[in-house]
Every structure is written in C-alpha cells, then in structure tokens.
Amino acid sequence: MLTVEEITNSSDFLQLAGVWNNLLSGSAANNIFLTWEWISNWWQVYGNNKELYVLTLKDNESTLVGIAPLYIRKNKILKGFPVNEVRFLGTGEDVSPDYLDFIIEQGRESEALDAYIRHLASKNQWDILNLTDMLSTSCNISFLTEAAQNGKFTIRQSDCATCPYIALPSSWEEYVSTLSANTRYNVKRRIKNIERDFTVRYFVWEDFEMLDDAMERLAHLHNKRWEEKECRHSFSSNEYVLFHKAVAKDFAKQGWLYLSCLELNGEIVGMLYDYRYGDNISYYQAGFDPAFHKYSPGLVLRAYVIRRAIDEGIKEVDLLKGAYDFKYMWTGHDRSTVNITVGRQSTASKLYFLNTFKRQEIKAAVKRALPDSVIRLVRG
C-alpha cells in the first residue's frame, strides 16, 4: 500500500533536497531538468503567485518511492473564467525545459500513478492537470492514461515538440562521415577559415569564481545577436537571468555545467550554454557576436564541442526542442514530446477542454454551416 503526502510549503519542500536526486537517478525519467538543482531554483525564482503541490509517495516501510513535482496556478479562459491548473515544477513563465515527468522508482510506476490519481480524485482544489513536455516514450503515460480512465477523468494527449539529438560514435572522423557532403565541406572550410584568420582558443569554462561574469557575457552575446534582428530574446527578463545564474552555479558544483567558449584574438565571441548529465550533453542556449557572422562562430563552436564530447566518451548531444535546420545539419535523429491533459468532471474542466481542444473545430464547423453573408454580418 502506497501513501501519498502533500507538500504545500517551502520548508517541507526543502527537506526533500537530500533525497530528491537519489530517487531520480533510479527512475526511468532521470534527466537534467528533473534534478533538485533545476526544480528548486525554478521555484525560488518563479514561485510567486503559485501554490506548491508536490506529492510524495511512500511504501509501508516509509521509504520514498515517488515524487510528483507539481504546482497549482490560477488560470483564466474565455475572457475571465477561472481554472485551477496543475503543472510540473520547473516549467512555465519564460523557462521551457524538456522531458518532464513523475519521478518514480523503476518497476513501481503503475501502482504509483494509480495512487496519485486516486488521491487527486479526492481533492477539489484543482480542475486541470496540464502535464507538458513529457517524452512520448515515457512508460508513465500509459499508466497515467489507464488510471485516469479508471477514475472517470477526461484525458487528452497532444503533440508538443520535436527534439533533434546527435548520437555520437567513437571518433570524430566516423561522425563526420555521417554528415552530408555539403555539411562536411562547410564544417571543414569554416574551421579552416577561422583558424587561419584568428588566434583561436576553445575551452569549457571552469573558473567558478568568475561564473557570474561568464553568464553575463553569455547574456550579452545572446541579446546582441537577437536585438540586431529585432527579435524577442530569452535573456530579456531579470528572472530568466537570475534563474540561469543560480542554475549554472549549482550545476557547476555537480560537474554538470558545460559552458563552451570560442575566443578569437583573446575575446570571447561565441558561447554555448550546455549541460552535461551522465553520458549526455544537452544544449540549452547560445550567444554569438554578429560582427563575426561570416565566420559562422556557432557552427565552428558546435563542431569543437562535438569533437571534445566524443573524446570524453559522451554518447549523445541532445539539441532539445525545436526542429530547426541548423540542428538537422548535424543529425538525422530526433525524438518527440507530448502534453497530457487530465480533467475532472467540473464545469471549469469542461470549459478548458472545449476552449483548448474544440475551439478551432467549432469555428470550422460554424464556418461550414453558415453562409458567407451571415459570417460577414456577425463579424461586422
């Protein structure tokens, strides 16, 4: 018999610091975005106006076997109708990680999800579980779906994102041979040109005392690049900068920070903000000086990172969400994430599902049914 405990205040939440990553490491969902360092820093920076709603799961011997890292936020739909929405901790606002999930001891997923759903069925402080960015192959999805259906909840799965990744072989030469002829030529030419015209230094940042300065440089390069294009950029909010400075420090302590720098003639002109977790490197953010655009510093720096990763025995470079051409030049592999939405039998839940999943269908049906003259009259 598994027992669910609700953690709704920060002091009790902090008590999980010593056991969180240990449980995570033994779960099928083990990844950098579910670590205590990511989750706790997110809550500290972005927790305002939200309710903590972490559900722990213990067995008969009071051993921790599950953590549902959740929070509740007040949402509004249909121009003001209130909905209490439960989401995964670590995502929301201007932070968007991948591969979120329940943290459960392997082999106990089915009974754990059943216990969570039965617990939630007895509570009325929520209307919607909006579980975003779950890996489509997560075993928890099928167990959650079965438990939700047995509990008479409404459940809907929808596509979320595509995440390209690079499967690394044992040598740089072997990896390069997998690229298209055009990409192979382009990579070699760009590296040759930049090494011919500059004194080039590539390194991974290791000076912990100056890490804040490094993150400021990353933010500056990122903003400089996108401001020139007059585009919205990530490091534009104080919260985003504060969060990633804190995460970078905590990741560095664990050996998880992989902040790669490209220095030309003594000046850092490009940075890749990656994370190393196990035998995986995850790409999160980047910054480059647009003045060096013709040398493709981003391409050169990524090539250096891949080559070093292979030398270090890394098995994969995960480029995370975004099916962009600049990612697929490096790989032909990808994986997908999904959103799982669970709703109770409440008016707010039904309206949420209608507004989220049926709105476009209703609009299309109305448009098909009504003459153009009536539609123009309504719009007028």
Structure tokens at 110: 């089915």
- Average pLDDT for residues 267-290, to the nearest whole number? 97
Phi-psi region of 320 (alpha: psi -120 to 50; beta: other; left: phi over 0): left
pLDDT value of position 368: 59
| Average pLDDT, integer, range 273-297 | 97
Confidence of residue 361 (pLDDT cuts 50, 70, 90): low
pLDDT digits over 66-79, tens only? Answer: 999 999 999 999 88
3-state helix, strand, coil in the chain (%, to 5): 45, 30, 25
- Residue 284 CB contacts under 8 Å (≥ 6 apart), including other chains: 273, 274, 275, 320
In order of 44, 130, 143, the CA distances from 115 in angstroms are: 28, 18, 11
Residue pair 123/50 in contact by the 8 Å Cβ criterion: no
pLDDT for res 208? 94
* CA-wise closest residue to 70 among 85, 48, 58, 49: 85
46: burial class by Cβ within 10 Å (0-12, 13-18, 19+)? buried
With a cut of 80, say whether residue 371 has pLDDT above it. Answer: no
Q: What angle do CA 258, 261, 267 make, to 5 degrees?
A: 155
Q: Nearest CA to 221 among 286, 295, 299? A: 286
Mean pLDDT to the nearest integer, 285-298: 96
- Give 77's contacts (C-beta < 8 A, 6+ positions apart): 83, 351, 352, 355, 356
Angle, nearest 10°, between helix axes 297-311 and 181-197? Answer: 100
The string of pLDDT tens digits covering residues 17-66 is 999 999 999 999 999 999 999 999 999 999 999 999 999 999 999 999 99
Query: What is the structure's pLDDT at 233?
Result: 58
Q: What is the pTM of this model?
A: 0.92
pLDDT of residue 365: 53
Start-to-end CA span in the chain (Å): 61
Residues 6+ apart with CB under 8 A from 129: 86, 120, 340, 341, 342, 343
Identify the pLDDT of residue 99. Answer: 98
Point out which residues pair with 321 in neighbouring strands.
Answer: none
Q: Measured between alpha carbons, how far is 251 from 186 in angstroms, rounded to an integer?
A: 33
Residue 225 clears pLDDT 80, i.e. is over it:
no
Q: Provide the pLDDT for residue 78.
A: 85
Helix axis angle for 238-254 and 36-46, nearest 10°, is 160
C-alpha–C-alpha distance, residues 325 and 267, integer Å: 28
Q: What is the pLDDT of residue 376?
A: 57
Per cent of the chain over pLDDT 90 is 86
Kindly state the average pLDDT of the residues 155-175.
Answer: 97
In the numeric block, the tokens 């902090």 are attached to: 14
Domains of the chain with bracketed CATH: 3-161+336-369 (3.40.630.30), 169-314 (3.40.630.30)
Among 350, 357, 355, 342, CA closest to 153:
342
Per-residue tokens: 353: 């599902």
